[in-house]
Structure 1
Amino acid sequence: MRYSDGKAIAIVTGSAMGLGYELTRGLIRRGWFVAGVDFNEERQLELAKEFPADSYRAFVGDVSDEIFAKSTLSDIAGTGHVDLLINNAGQPSFKAPADYVAADVDKCLKGLKGMILWSVETLKACGEQDLKIANVMSTAATRGNANESVYCAAKWGEKGYTQSLKAAYKGSSVKVVGVYPGGIDTDFYRESHDYVSTEKQHTFMDAGELAEVILFNLVNEANLTVSDILIERNYR
């Protein structure tokens, strides 16, 4: 059964909350079918009720799990050609440089590992044709930040992977877009309020507005591709 019902198909990792949720919502409003990937089972159950069955299907799992990535892509690809992959999933760890431990490194690197696994499996499922990959990173991929050394290291790795994909598929029907947003007002910082206070978090960008700016550049009818999207908030 084609649950996409002929619609363009997008995969969004980290779809359950924050920017991923807003990107998912924006794509569905534009008539897309979204395969949403997230480890938060409770939120995925809520989204399965919020969105029509012909517009959203929830997949629950860890994006850095290769078996999960392979099985999910096999399922999705069986319904039609995947047109868009948005690698959005990731977790932060903000600490002073001497306070990091191995678990923090593993946590930050999950986003990079997931980005690679989902890109590889989607590329194979699409026969490396007619696919747009959008890798959502951070302005932390463009500079070093105090108390973000491991997080920045992971984001710089994601940027290196993104730039390498662009070089590999230059001139082909596979288009790769790097997305570099600044701070976003979401629960992303819930475990780091000693570093980013709730008050400071609320000065960051609105996730819904940010999603609209990204999708305006990412999904349109123009025969053009915006290769990099760097978005920062206005200061008033």
Structure 2
Amino acid sequence: MEHHGRTVAIVTGGAAGLGLELVHQLMERGFIVANIDIDAQAMSQLDVSLGSRNPGTYHGFIGDVADEDFARRSLDAISNLGTISLLINNAGRPSFKAPIDYTSTDIELCLTGLRGMIVWTTGVLRATAERDVHIVNVMSSAALRGNAHESVYCAAKWGERGYTESLKTAYKGSSVKIVGFYPGGIDTNFYTDSRDYVDEQKQHSFMKANELATVLLDNILSKANLTVADLVVERNS
């Protein structure tokens, strides 16, 4: 994939964690980056730390990834920045509970990532006329197996996996490249609201977000004559 001049990468859920590492590394690799996140406070800080120091290179858009109107307005603006060549659907929300403890609120929380993935993928495919674009769906190893305290979270991730596999079938042989990314546990604030499930000591044993971002980008942006379709990354035991 060429990434020079006015080539744009979109990252959803880029205000913290893996998403923020991807934003930083994509900018270092020469992309104009559009960062999509609902965390207004964190995004305002990034407008100062990244936007003001990198005028024209970093652009933040604050809103709900699952909101079609917000996505449409944002994509209209993003399309004016340059040629969209990469979408990384990274946004997602966790809920880790015993099966009988899940509520409708938890279900909606877990489905945010799936809905946002569909909304932004559809929007980017339309904006690029279904040509010359990489779409990376960041999921989780929870999309590959069942976990006792992640039943609804796994259900949402398995849905994302089904969507990803269907996209691969729909665009096989075309210039639209679909990549499924399945990382195991990452040392980020993703687990802040689930300390009874993942305490800080366990969290810090997980993979580092900056290393994962490098592994992902090295693979999908390789100039080798090949296509990476799936990338499963687990921490060393």
TM-score by length of 2: 0.95
Q: Output the amino acid matched with 1:58.
A: G
Q: Output the amino acid matched with 2:79.
A: A
Deviation per CA, 1:2-55, whole angstroms, max 9, x where unpaired? xxx933210000011000000111111111110000011111122122221222
Q: Output the amino acid matched with 1:225.
A: T
Q: Tell me what 1:197 maps to.
A: 199
1:198 deviation in Å? 1.0
Deviation per CA, 1:91-122, whole angstroms, max 9, x where unpaired? 00000000000000000001000000000000
Q: Tell me what 2:33 maps to.
A: 34
Q: Tell me what 1:154 maps to.
A: 156
Match of 1:140 among 111, 132, 142: 142
Match of 2:86 among 77, 84, 87: 84
In structure 1, distance between residues paired with 2:158 and 2:76? 30
Q: Tell me what 1:9 maps to.
A: 8
Q: Tell me what 2:18 maps to.
A: 19
For residue 194 of structure 2, give the secondary structure of its aligned residue in structure 1. Answer: coil
1:216 deviation in Å? 0.7
Q: What pairs up with 1:1-236 in 2 under 5 angstroms?
A: 6-51=5-50, 52-235=54-237
Q: Say what the alpha-carbon RMSD is for the aligned residues.
A: 1.3
In structure 1, distance between residues paired with 2:182 and 2:154? 12
Q: Output the amino acid matched with 2:210.
A: G
1:221 deviation in Å? 2.1
1:234 deviation in Å? 0.9
In structure 2, distance between residues paired with 1:113 and 1:41? 20
More divergent stretch after superposition (159-168 vs 68-77): 68-77
Structure 2: 5+ residue stretches without partners: none
For residue 191 of structure 1, give the secondary structure of its aligned residue in structure 2. Answer: helix
Deviation per CA, 1:56-111, whole angstroms, max 9, x where unpaired? 10000000111101111111112322000000000000000000000000000010
For residue 146 of structure 2, give the secondary structure of its aligned residue in structure 1. Answer: coil
TM-score by length of 1: 0.96
- Whether the 8 Å CA contact 2:8–2:81 is kept in 1: the answer is no
- Whether the 8 Å CA contact 2:184–2:233 is kept in 1: the answer is yes
In structure 2, distance between residues paired with 1:101 and 1:219? 40
More divergent stretch after superposition (15-24 vs 75-84): 75-84
